C-alpha cells in the first residue's frame, strides 16, 4: 500500500481500534493455486505477541485451511469509513481552481503468519467471543448466546469449521483524510459530508483530523 508520510498512521492503539470496530477483514493468501482473498470476521487479541493476534474460523469445506501451511505469510486488509470528496467542497477551489476530486478513507494492513487451529477448545472460544461482541452491537435486549441452541447442535456446528490464528508481524495504517488540504477545506468537507447524512463516520473522521491540527 502506498502511504505518503502525511497519510501514515503508526499508533498501534489506533490501528487496533479500527480492526476492532471494523472486524470484517480480507485475508489474502498466495496459495498453490495463486492469489485468493477470503472475507472473514476477525477477533483481535491485542495482548498476544508484539502487535497482537487475529483469530477467525472458516468452513471446513473452504480450501483455505488445507492450502495454507503453518507459517505461511498472509495479508489481512481492514477498511473503515470512506467517502468521495468533491473539489467543490473546498473553499480554496473557488479562489484558485487547482483542486480535483479525491476519495478519503482509513485502511489497516496486517501482515503476519498463519497457523491452522483445528481443535474444539480454540474454536469454541473464538465463536463465543465473536458472538458476544457482535451481538452486543445489535442493541438487542436479549442477545443471542450459544447456550440458546442445544449442546448437540453447537457441537455439530463446531465440527464443520476450522480455526485460524495469525500472528501480526507488521501493521500499516493509512488515514487519508485531506491532511494535505488547508484547514478551512477540511472543515468544510466534514460539514458537507454531515449535511448529506450518508457518511457520518467519515465526517467524524474529518472532524477528528481538524481538531488534532
Overall average pLDDT of the 202-208 stretch: 71
Q: Which residues contact 90 (CB under 8 A, 6 or more apart)?
A: 99, 181, 182, 185, 188, 189
Compute the residue count for the chain. Answer: 213
pTM for this entry: 0.90
Residue 84 has pLDDT above 60, yes or no: yes
Q: What is the pLDDT of residue 128?
A: 95
Q: What is the pLDDT of residue 200?
A: 58
| pLDDT confidence band for 212 (50 / 70 / 90) | low
Overall average pLDDT of the 6-29 stretch: 95
Q: What is the pLDDT of residues 148-203, one digit of tens each?
A: 899 999 999 999 999 999 999 999 999 998 888 888 988 888 888 888 776 556 77
| Residue (of 72, 51, 47, 49) closest to 164 by Cα position | 72
Q: What is the pLDDT of residue 182?
A: 87
Per 3-state DSSP, what percentage of the chain is helix, strand, and coil (rounded to 5)?
A: 40, 35, 30
Q: What is the pLDDT of residues 92-127, one digit of tens each?
A: 866 766 778 999 999 999 999 999 999 999 999 999
The fold of 5-82+104-179 is Pnp Oxidase; Chain A (2.30.110)
| pLDDT confidence band for 11 (50 / 70 / 90) | very high
* Cell triple for 86: 468533491
| pLDDT confidence band for 54 (50 / 70 / 90) | very high
**Average pLDDT taken over every residue of the chain:** 91
DSSP label of 140: -
Residue 1 has pLDDT above 90, yes or no: yes
Domain boundaries in the chain? Answer: 5-82+104-179
CA–CA separation, 52 vs 76, rounded Å?
13
Buried/exposed code over 16-53 (b: 16+ C-beta within 10 A; e: otherwise): bebbeebbebebbbeeeeeeeebebebbbebeeeebbb
CA–CA separation, 94 vs 60, rounded Å?
57
DSSP label of 62: S
Overall average pLDDT of the 30-51 stretch: 95
Amino acid at each position: 500500500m502506498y502511504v505518503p508520510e502525511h497519510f501514515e498512521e503508526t499508533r498501534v492503539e489506533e490501528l487496533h481500534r479500527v480492526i476492532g470496530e471494523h472486524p470484517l477483514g480480507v485475508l489474502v493468501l498466495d496459495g498453490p493455486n495463486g492469489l485468493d482473498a477470503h472475507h472473514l470476521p476477525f477477533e483481535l487479541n491485542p495482548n498476544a505477541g508484539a502487535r497482537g493476534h487475529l483469530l477467525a474460523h472458516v468452513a471446513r469445506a473452504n480450501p483455505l485451511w488445507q492450502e495454507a501451511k503453518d507459517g505461511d505469510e498472509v495479508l489481512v486488509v481492514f477498511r473503515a469509513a470512506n467517502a468521495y470528496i468533491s473539489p467543490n467542497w473546498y473553499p480554496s477551489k473557488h479562489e484558485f481552481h487547482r483542486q480535483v476530486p479525491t476519495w478519503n478513507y482509513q485502511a489497516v494492513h496486517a501482515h503476519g503468519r498463519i497457523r491452522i487451529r483445528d481443535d474444539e477448545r480454540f474454536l469454541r472460544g473464538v465463536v463465543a467471543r465473536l458472538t458476544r461482541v457482535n451481538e452486543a452491537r445489535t442493541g438487542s435486549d436479549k442477545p443471542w448466546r450459544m447456550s440458546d441452541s442445544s449442546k448437540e447442535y453447537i457441537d455439530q456446528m463446531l465440527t464443520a469449521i476450522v480455526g485460524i490464528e495469525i500472528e501480526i508481524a507488521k501493521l500499516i495504517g493509512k488515514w487519508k483524510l485531506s491532511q494535505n488540504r488547508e484547514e478551512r477545506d477540511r472543515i468544510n468537507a466534514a460539514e458537507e459530508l454531515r449535511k448529506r447524512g450518508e457518511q457520518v463516520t467519515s465526517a467524524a473522521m474529518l472532524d477528528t483530523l481538524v481538531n488534532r491540527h
